[in-house]
Amino acid sequence: MDGTTRGDSMTMAPEQAAWFSDIFGRLVANVEQVLLGKTFVIKLSFTALLSEGHLLLEDYPGTGKTSLARAIAQSVQGTSNRVQFTPDLLPGDITGVSIYDQRSGDFEFHRGPIFANIVLADEINRASPKTQAALLEVMEEGRVTVDGVTHPVGAPFMVIATQNPVEQAGTYRLPEAQLDRFLMKTSIGYPDHASTVRILEGAGVRAHDTVVPSIVPAETVVEMAALARTVHVDPSVNDYVSRIVEATRSSEEVRLGASVRGALALIRAAKTLAAAGARHYVIPDDIKALAEPVLAHRLVLDPEAEFDGVTASSIMSQILMEVSPPSDRQAV
Amino acid sequence: MRTFDQGSGVFTLLSTTFFVAATAVATTAFWPIYQTEQFILMAAATIVVGCAIAIAGARFRWPGPVMVGVTVATYLLLGVPLAIPDSALFRVLPSGEGLLELIRAAALGWRQLLTIALPVGSYQSLLVPAFLIILVTVIIGLSLALRIETGELGVLAPTLVLVLGLAFGPREAPTAVPLVLGFLAVVLGWLSWRRWYRRRESIRALATSPMPGSARLERLGGVRSAAAAIAILLVAVAVGGLSANAAPPEREREVLRDIVDQPFDPRDYSSPLSSFRRYQQPSIAGSAMFTVRGLPAGARLRLATLDTYDGVVFSVGSDLATSDSGSFTRLPTSIERDLAGERVELEVEISGYEGIWVPTTGLLSSISFWGTDAAALTDSFFFNDGGHSGVVLEGLDAGDRYTLDAVIPAEPSSGRIGSLSPGDAAVPPAAVVPEELTVVLDTWVRGAETAGERLEAMLSALAAEGYVSHGIRDDEPVSRSGHGADRIQELLTSPRMIGDEEQYSVTAALMARAIGFPSRVVFGFAPEPLGGEDDTTVVLGSDVSAWIEVDTAQFGWVAIDPTPPEREIPEEEPEDPTEVARPQSPVPPPAVEPDPSRDQIPLDTSQEDEEQDDPFVAALLAALTVLAWIAAGILVVLAPFLAIVIAKLRRRYLRQRAASAAARVSGGWREFEDMTADYGYSPPPSPTRSEVAEAVGGVRPLVLAAVADRAVFAPERVDEDEAREVWVAVRELEEDISSSRTRWQRVKAAVSLRSLAGYSLKELFSRERRPT
């Protein structure tokens, strides 16, 4: 099995992994200046960005979601917009509208807030399903079509959507099919004690005034995303992912397990995380670290289990305890 | 350090219940020793009090010195009423005398317990050792069970009780096997519960949020523990049963009382039979030895039972065989005699007799001494239930009085001797048998079919041909004293067979053995009845006698008097030897006389063979045999551990020689991972390499994990050097980890099964694959 050709032109080189990891580290450190003590969430956010995916944050108000989106955008010399979703928000309020220009006599397209590198869609579950669908379509296709004219939103493009887990009144819960379109779901959560004290020490500065220096141009981010796709994945790791996904489907507490799209998303994100770790190959640890953020929100729990207090996260933890990671290369 | 709440009420209650059950079962091992209600009371009270102290100690966290103090105080406070009830004031308060006895018995009671006939009841302070054992083991054992995390160690306490009970108990213990199995069942139940409980607590501690399937895991753990316990019990019964059948014990069961020297050794005293003629001396023959009240007509008084013949004297006890007659123990209360026979009560008053041997009759049930020396005599009375003879080390003197209860067993009438068949009692083989004895016996018993008939023929021949003379008075023919082989030879070959009870009993005993009856000589007095007023018998020196006892299948030991009746002794007629109808020493014509060796009763010649062997070589062989057995035993015990070590070495060998460099790298990692498992590191379930490395701690394991990961998951080919370096790193890490452990921890890790659990036997026995 050792004799087979294992390197090809499409595979990332170790030097490229080192370069990738260096920039990734600097980006994370940069954003950490505004979001203290949340390294893992920042890493996940950049992993999502460089995996060309979108991030769903389930968070309470005031945990730093806007700061995160803004700092990410500034770090990559990109633009950022924030949209507060309300029940009366219309699709056109997001994508933009064509307005008749009396002087030229033409319809002129006025771009909506979706035209930015990083879009923060705040409280996405407050908008009507129609508006949600419009946003999700843009997320999937990366372009807006109005009046038959297609406008690409640009690259890089990442939507950071948030949901408030407490208030349920007057909200429209995202359908499972649409949740599947988010690469990851996680939460920032409250900072720990030491970070809170440090935040309070810098309370003189308004959070929204903080500007972080840019690290790389937006084009580099696109280049990095393309590079991340070339990380090597051993068949045994694919097998591991496959076993995890199958386990979500066979679990008694789950009504609907993770889809193939979920498995693909997990591999894609793991490739980015591997490169971020200066590796040009994925190891089971990458899969383990990302399995919960990537897969948990794609599971539909059995109502009875949900009633017992079982959560998707706890099911994923249990599955990771039961499915043993590969320790050897798979026999060819 | 505690991983679970050991202070909860349910935990304490269940632990105590299991502990008390195990201790109660173990305590029954002491029952054959005591067999009295007082023992049950003592054991129950001691277990309850001990448990109370241990529970209080655990609850209030008493330190060691306090526990010791409380234990000593309890021993002093409860010891007298529970273990020496006769010394307790109002049955509950310890008396000063009782306390002294209690302290003395803690040190000396053990030996006393071993040198006394069983059962001992609540005699003197003999309950003290059992009281002390139960009290101390209950307090220590239950404290361990309640206080430390590995509370299973508490099981050692009842195990100790069981072992001591069996060791101090009687040689025959028919209940030992069911007792030990019952104990094993209780203990396994306890250990299984303990394991299940700990597992459940660990799972609960791990799962801070409700975890799916944790209840199932708990149940699974319980079922698994119970199944393992039942499996162990079944295997123990099966293996025990099989091995007991396949290799039955070659030697008899031995207990401590077999090893401890009995305080009275009859071999220290000269054979009483050798002083036989002394009682016939005119100065003594006529004087009263002692008076007996209540002796039935015809009953004989026994002094000593002699079963060992060394060619010079017949004596008591022998070290050649486990002799029934040689082991004397204290007679605590009484011996139950539930056999048919005449019950008699004798009153004996000593007058002229002096000596350690106590005149008794039949089978003794109880004896009590009177008079000024009564206490000293009681204290120094020892009894041998095999030979039914008693001694007082103080020695009997004029004025000593005692009463005894005895049973005179039913015996066959003299006409029925022919119908008897030999019993199976063990008697030490005679060291020397006079040459002529078998030849003479052969002519006497010719024509007799059965052993009983031969015995009868032998006795009647003795009666017909023998003449009695003590050789003391002037009118008596010469009759040499003594009963050595030469004297017996002389008796059998001289023209006139002349001797007295001393010679005839020895001759008859040796001939009975040659016929096949286990036999022994009894030395005592055969008084003429009605020597004094009412039913008092005055026993004179001339009443001294010796007779034999043969063991029969029908009646057990049967007394037979082989001495011919006293009659006139004919003049010596050397010129006509044919008058005496017995064989001549010259060899008779072969046509008439068949080959003696053909019809002769076969004698046990094994002893002679033994004598021919060099004693040094024999001792060396015996020592080597013992050593070989010990080595085999050790090997059997160590075999499972050796198998584990060998399996691990084989596994390592296979990994180091795997086909590809990548496989050798990942094999190196697995070797490291298995070692950490054996040393007790516990990474999370289904760990990746880096998770294992984090559980071990330090940078080097992490580096090793990264190297192994790259070898396995990276697209590049692994070169040979890398594989070699990985193995070097693995060895260094192993040394690091093992050097920080104690020797015991290293041994435990070496024989740990944890890392072997996931390794298949198939893999272990697979052929290695070298790279091509």
Q: Give the pLDDT confidence of B472-530 residue by residue, as tens digits.
A: 888 888 888 888 888 888 888 888 888 888 899 999 999 999 888 999 999 999 887 65
Q: How confident is the model at residue B769 (pLDDT cuts 50, 70, 90)?
A: very low
Same domain, B228 and B357: no
How much is the pLDDT for B622? 81
Residue B761 predicted with pLDDT over 80 = no
- Pairwise CA distance, residues B459 & B515, whole Å: 12
Average pLDDT over residues B545-573: 85
3-class secondary structure, B202: helix
What is the distance between the alpha carbons of residues B526 and B539, in angstroms, rounded to a whole number?
A: 8
Task: Report in angstroms the alpha-carbon separations of B753 from B211, B234, B746.
Answer: 29, 22, 13
Q: Does the pLDDT at position B5 exceed 70?
A: no
In this structure, the answer to whether residues B561 and B681 fall within a common structural domain is no
User: Shortest CB distance from A2 goes to which of B209, B660, B713?
Assistant: B660
Number of domains in chain B: 4
In a domain, B616, yes or no: no
Predicted confidence (pLDDT) at residue B587 exceeds the cutoff of 60: no
Same domain, B525 and B559: yes
Looking at mean pLDDT, say which of A240-254, B300-314, B654-668 comes out highest: A240-254
Residue A315 gets which letter from DSSP?
A: H
Contact A181, A139 (CB under 8 A): yes
Q: Which of A285-299, B465-479, B641-655 has the lowest mean pLDDT?
A: B465-479
pLDDT at A239: 94
Asked if residue B675 lies in contact with residue B755, where contact means CB atoms within 8 angstroms, the answer is: yes
Average pLDDT over residues A212-225: 89
pLDDT grade for B611, boundaries at 50, 70 and 90: very low
A20 or B580, which is more confident: A20
List the domains of chain A with CATH numbers.
21-204 (3.40.50.300), 231-327 (1.10.8.80)
Report which of B370, B362, B158, B211 is spatially closest to residue A314, judged by C-alpha positions.
B211
Regarding whether B231 and B362 lie in a shared domain, the answer is no
Q: How confident is the model at residue B555 (pLDDT cuts 50, 70, 90)?
A: confident
Domain end point (choices B609, B642, B669): B609
Q: Which of A1, A243, A283, A321 to mutate to test the interface with B (most CBs of B within 10 A)?
A: A283
Question: Which pLDDT value is given to residue B584?
Answer: 52
What pLDDT shows up at residue B605?
A: 44
Residue B580, in any domain of the structure? no
Q: Which residues neighbour B707 within 8 Å (Cβ) at sequence distance 6 or greater?
A: B665, B722, B726, B729
Residue of A nearest to B712 (CA): A329
Distance of alpha carbon B673 from alpha carbon B751, whole angstroms: 16
Report whether pLDDT(B531) > 60: no
Is pLDDT at A241 greater than 80 in this prediction? yes
Cα–Cα dist B288/B348, whole Å: 12
In chain A, what residues touch B660 (CB-CB under 8 Å)? 1-2
pLDDT > 70: what percent of chain A?
93
Chain B contact set for A310 (CB, 8 A): 210, 212
A323·B714 Cβ contact <8 A: no
What pLDDT is attached to residue B610?
Answer: 44
Q: Which residues of chain A are within 8 Å of residue B685 when distances are taken between CB atoms?
A: 321-322
> Does pLDDT of A80 surpass 80?
yes
pLDDT per position as a tens digit, A37-58: 888 999 999 999 999 999 998 8
For B36-76, write each residue's pLDDT tens digit.
888 999 999 999 999 999 999 988 888 888 999 999 999 98
3-state secondary structure at position B725: helix
Residue B220 domain flag: yes
Put simply, the answer to whether A7 touches B715 (Cβ < 8 Å) is yes
- What residue in B sits closest to A315 (Cα-Cα)? B212
Mean pLDDT of chain B: 81
Contact residues, B window 697-726, toward A, CB-based 8 Å cutoff: 709-710, 712-718
pLDDT value at B585 more than 60 = no
Cβ <8 Å between B716 and A322: no
Tokens in use for A242? 């496959």
Amino acid A209: pLDDT: 64
Residue B136 has pLDDT above 90, yes or no: yes
A1 pLDDT band (50/70/90 cuts)?
A: very low
Q: How far is CA B549 from CA B363, B517, B633, B693, in A?
A: 13, 9, 43, 83
- What are the strands of the beta sheet with B389-396, ordered from one edge? B329-330, B381-384, B389-396, B355-358
| pLDDT band at residue B248 using 50, 70 and 90 as cut-offs | low
- Buried-state track B219-246, b at ≥16 Cβ within 10 A, e below 16: eebbeebbeebeeebeeeeeeeeeeeee
Phi–psi pair at B503, nearest 5 degrees: -75, -40
Q: Does residue B397 sit within a domain?
A: yes
pLDDT confidence band for A148 (50 / 70 / 90): confident
User: Which residue of A lies nearest to B207 if distances are taken between CA atoms?
Assistant: A314
Per-residue confidence at A2, pLDDT binned at 50, 70, 90?
A: very low
Which ipTM did the prediction report? Answer: 0.85
- pLDDT of A149 strictly over 90: no
Contact A232/B715, CB-based, under 8 Å?
yes
Among A113-127, B113-127, B455-469, B662-676, the least confident range: B113-127
Whether chain A has a CB inside 8 Å of the CB on B684: the answer is yes
Best of B660, B672, B674, B713 to disrupt the A interface (most A CBs within 10 Å) is B713
User: Is residue B403 located within the same domain as residue B538?
Assistant: yes
- What pLDDT was estimated at residue B659? 84
- Say whether both B298 and B403 belong to one domain: yes
Contact assignment for A279 to B714 by CB distance below 8 Å: yes
Q: Which residue has the higher pLDDT, B251 or B449?
A: B449
Helices marked H in A51-192 — which ranges?
Answer: 65-75, 91-95, 129-141, 176-179
Lookup result for tokens 């008493």: B62
* Domain-terminating residue out of B139, B173, B207: B173
A304 touches chain B (CB under 8 A): no
Residues B38, B121: Cα–Cα separation, whole Å: 8
Q: Does B275 lie in the same domain as B225?
A: no
Q: pLDDT at position B419, please?
A: 86
pLDDT tens per residue across span B321-361: 445 556 677 776 677 777 778 888 888 999 888 888 899 98
Residue A5 clears pLDDT 70, i.e. is over it: no
Here the tokens at position B434 are 């006079």
Q: What angle do CA B366, B369, B374 make, to 5 degrees?
A: 140
| Inter-residue contact A323 to A239 (CB < 8 Å) | no
CA distance B40 to B34: 9
B622-645: average pLDDT: 87
Question: Do B116 and B221 share a domain, yes or no?
Answer: no
Mean pLDDT of B419-437: 84
Q: Is B617 among the domain residues?
A: no
Q: Does residue A240 sit at the B interface (CB-CB below 8 Å)?
A: no
Per CB-CB distance under 8 Å, the chain A contacts of B713 are 232, 234, 236-237, 281-284, 329
CA distances (Å), origin B119, targets B115, B254, B329: 12, 18, 12
CA distance B413 to B456: 12
Out of A6, A7, A314, the one facing B212 most closely (by C-beta) is: A314
Residue B520 lies in a domain: yes
Q: Nearest residue on chain A to B717, judged by CA atoms? A: A2
Residues B235, B302 share a domain: no
Clarify whether residues B479 and B502 are in a common domain. Answer: yes
Kindly tell me the number of DSSP H helices and DSSP E strands found in chain B.
Answer: 25, 17
Average pLDDT score over chain A: 86
Domain assignment of residue B147, yes or no:
yes
Rounded CA-CA distance B540/A33 in Å is 123
| CB-CB neighbors (< 8 A) of B666 in chain A | 327-329
Distance, in Å, from the CA atom of B108 to the CA atom of B114, rounded to the nearest integer, reads: 11
Task: For residue A195, report the phi and psi dihedrals to the nearest 5 degrees.
Answer: -65, -40
- Read off the pLDDT of residues B366-388 as tens digits, 9 standing for 90 and up: 888 888 888 888 878 888 877 88
User: Are B663 and B768 in contact, with CB atoms under 8 Å apart?
Assistant: no
Beta strands at B401-409 and B497-499: parallel, antiparallel or unpaired? unpaired
**B577 occurs within a structural domain:** no
A309·B687 Cβ contact <8 A: no
CB-based contact A330:A235 (threshold 8 Å): yes
CA distance A42 to chain B (A): 22
Q: Which residues of chain B does A11 touch, with a Cβ-Cβ cutoff of 8 Å?
A: 715
Nearest residue on chain A to B670, alpha-carbon basis: A327
Co-location of B454 and B315 in the same domain? yes
Contacts of A1 in chain B (CB under 8 A): 660, 662
Domain that holds residue B218: 176-246
Contact criterion met (CB < 8 Å) for A314 and B210 = yes
Bridge-based pairing of strands B466-468 and B497-499 is parallel
Burial letters for B293-325: b for 16+ Cβ neighbours within 10 Å, e otherwise?
bbbeeebbbbbbbbbbbbebbbbbbbeeeebbb
Q: Answer yes or no: do B210 and A282 touch at CB < 8 A.
A: no
Q: Which of B686, B709, B713 shows the shortest C-beta gap to A324?
A: B686
Q: Mind listing the pLDDT tens digit for each residue in A165-200?
A: 766 677 888 887 778 889 999 888 888 888 888 878
Cα of A286 to nearest chain B Cα, Å: 10
Does B211 contact A329 at a Cβ distance shorter than 8 Å? Answer: no
**Contact assessment for residue B333 and residue B121, using Cβ atoms and an 8 Å cutoff:** yes
Q: Do B212 and A311 touch (CB under 8 A)?
A: no
Do B410 and B462 have their domain in common?
yes
**Taking the CB of residue A95, how many other CB atoms lie within 10 A of it?**
24
